[in-house]
Amino acid sequence: MLRLLSALVAGGLFGAGLLVSGMVDTTKVQGWLDVFGDWNPTLAFVLGGAIVPMAIAWRVAERRKVAVLGGPLPLMTEGEARPGRNLIIGSTVFGAGWALAGLCPGPALASLTFGGTGGIVFVVAMAAGMLAAPPIRARLDRMQPA
């Protein structure tokens, strides 16, 4: 029960932060990516601001090892896979969609109740894309194993 409450609060704080920061405003996001046009640097402040508390949290996690509500904490020093083909292709494709609509997954959900028809259609299309990803990944791996 406490896990759910904490997750609800974290999600709510994330949503509020996305509102305050302007990440739900597609013109600001598109302005950030529009380096050949009227460039808007706001997102650099959003990302910079978000990294600070999280960098501290990773250091706290390194010392605690165990989450407050139990269970092992992911650690910043634990090994990870090397960046591979799927990471690069996937991120580039994601960036393309991010530019076209000015929405990434978090802000898309945050604006679900006030983004109108376009916002709802975006979330449905995004879910469809997520369902299409595993077969596409399998096909990429058949062409050339990652």
Partner 1 sequence: MIEQDWIWGLVGGLMIGSAAALYLLVNGRIMGASGIIGGLVDRSGWEGGTERAAFLAGLVLVPMLVVPLYETVETHITSNLAVVIVAGLLVGVGTRLANGCTSGHGVCGISRLSLRGIVATVFYLLGGALVMALARHVLGVI
Contacts with partner 1 in 89-108 (CB under 8 A)? 89-106, 108
Residue 10 as a binder of partner 1 (CB under 8 A): the answer is yes
Q: Among residues 53 and 145, whose Cβ is nearest to partner 1?
A: 53
Q: How far is the CB of 143 from partner 1 (least distance, A)?
A: 13
Q: How far is the CB of 109 from partner 1 (least distance, A)?
A: 5
List the x/- string, 105-134, binding to partner 1 by CB under 8 A: xx-xxxxxxxxxxxx-xxxxxxxxxxxxxx
Q: How far is the CB of 1 from partner 1 (least distance, A)?
A: 10
Q: How far is the CB of 78 from partner 1 (least distance, A)?
A: 9
| Secondary structure of the chain in HEC code, one letter for each residue | CHHHHHHHHHHHHHHHHHHHHCCCCHHHHHHHHCCCCCCCCHHHHHHHHHHHHHHHHHHHHHHHCECCCCCECCCCCCCCCCCCHHHHHHHHHHHHHHHHHCCCHHHHHHCCCCCHHHHHHHHHHHHHHHHHHHHHHHHHHHHCCC
Residue 144 as a binder of partner 1 (CB under 8 A): the answer is no
Residue 36 as a binder of partner 1 (CB under 8 A): the answer is yes
